[in-house]
Amino acid sequence: MVTRITKNISLVAEHLKQGGIAAVPTETVYGLAANALNPEAVLKIYQTKRRPTFNPLIVHLNNTDDLGKYVSYVPKSAFKLMQKYSPGALTFVLKKKRTIPDIVTAGLDTVAIRFPKHRVMNSLIEQCRFPLCAPSANRFGKISPTTAHEVKQDLDVLIEFILDGGRSNLGIESTVVAFDRNVPVILRYGAVTQEQIESVCGKVKSTRNLTIISPGMIKDHYAPQTPLLLYEGNLSSLKELKWDITTLFLKRGQSLRDFSSELFTRLRKADRKNAEYIVAALVDNNGIGRAINDRLKKASSGFLVLEGGEFKIRKKS
């Protein structure tokens, strides 16, 4: 199959209406989309990504008025968050109606819903007249793509169309939030920060001690081919390291927001250098820093540590 990069929204809408799948642009990362109401089409996403079917998908809508067709209940705090951050990079896990096929939610009785903020994506949903499932357009466990070209590197020959909508300006996935009665629980850190959520509905609950499950919270993800090691020591001491490494650090004076938006692209670039290891450092664990650290930890295979004046690798447990 030849993979075409196109800007023709109607062409891709037609393909999706026929039960096909296509890569699509969003403001977070590029997604691999199918009609969320068509189980056979959704199955093609899992097969193409080689994503385990226990890992549920996010359903994208372009209009909050449609919500009632797919979910049975919206807690007050979810409603407030929706007013403030939708459209945007916040995904809501809510009780589902039977209109959403089981394959979309991996059999759970909840569905994850997001309203993207991207002109091309919203116009595509508009033309399709059905919601789109769209997990990141990469093989399962690999680095998420933020341009049409990066999608082609991963899924060339496997899909017919990549709808080009420019670079994803956020460059990192959405924040996934569930609700324990009326209290938000962050299941995945992402582009909307915990602080932004708390400014609307007060303290969020931690996922520890909770029964809410998110089957997609797998420890290893976003992984480059080159093993990535996290380094917590003094950066200047790395000069002593004689190994063949390439580094991935916050640049001097760079904001965490800017670092998060280029993280996946820099990870890909680092990977292409074919060094023996990529060495990366975590950032301050607040704001968007939590999402950055989550991705770096999942992408890593261990730690680089300096012990007794010698560099060693400590494997991730």
Which residues in this chain contact ligand AMP in the complex, by CB under 6 A? 55-58, 93, 105, 108, 110-112, 135-136, 173, 176, 178, 187-188, 214-217
Smallest gap from residue 279 Cβ to ligand AMP (A) = 26
Residues 98-137 vs Mg ion: string with x where CB under 5 A? --------------------------------------x-
Residue 61 binds: one of ligand AMP, Mg ion, none (C-beta under 5 to 8 A by kind): none
Query: Can residue 38 be called a binding residue for Mg ion (CB under 5 A)?
Result: no
Smallest gap from residue 56 Cβ to ligand AMP (A) = 3
Smallest gap from residue 193 Cβ to ligand AMP (A) = 17
Residue 228 binds: one of Mg ion, ligand AMP, none (C-beta under 5 to 8 A by kind): none
| Nearer CB in complex with ligand AMP: 108/158 | 108
**Cβ proximity of 95 and 72 under 8 Å:** yes
Whether residue 87 has a cis bond before it, omega within 30° of 0: yes
Smallest gap from residue 291 Cβ to ligand AMP (A) = 12
**Cβ proximity of 273 and 305 under 8 Å:** no
Q: How far apart are CA 56 and CA 207, in angstroms?
A: 18
Q: How far apart are CA 220 and CA 152, in angstroms?
A: 23
Query: Can residue 214 be called a binding residue for Mg ion (CB under 5 A)?
Result: no
Strands of the chain, DSSP E: 4-6, 22-24, 31-35, 58-60, 71-73, 90-96, 110-114, 132-133, 161-163, 175-180, 183-188, 228-231, 245-248, 277-280, 302-307, 310-315
Q: How many residues bind Mg ion (CB under 5 A)?
A: 1
Q: How far apart are CA 300 and CA 215, in angstroms?
A: 20
Residues 136-155 vs Mg ion: string with x where CB under 5 A? x-------------------
Amino acid symbol at 57: L
User: What is the CB neighbour count within 10 angstroms for residue 40?
Assistant: 11
By C-alpha distance, which of 209, 215, 218, 189 is closest to 316? 218
| Nearer CB in complex with ligand AMP: 212/235 | 212
| Positions that interact with Mg ion (CB under 5 A) | 136
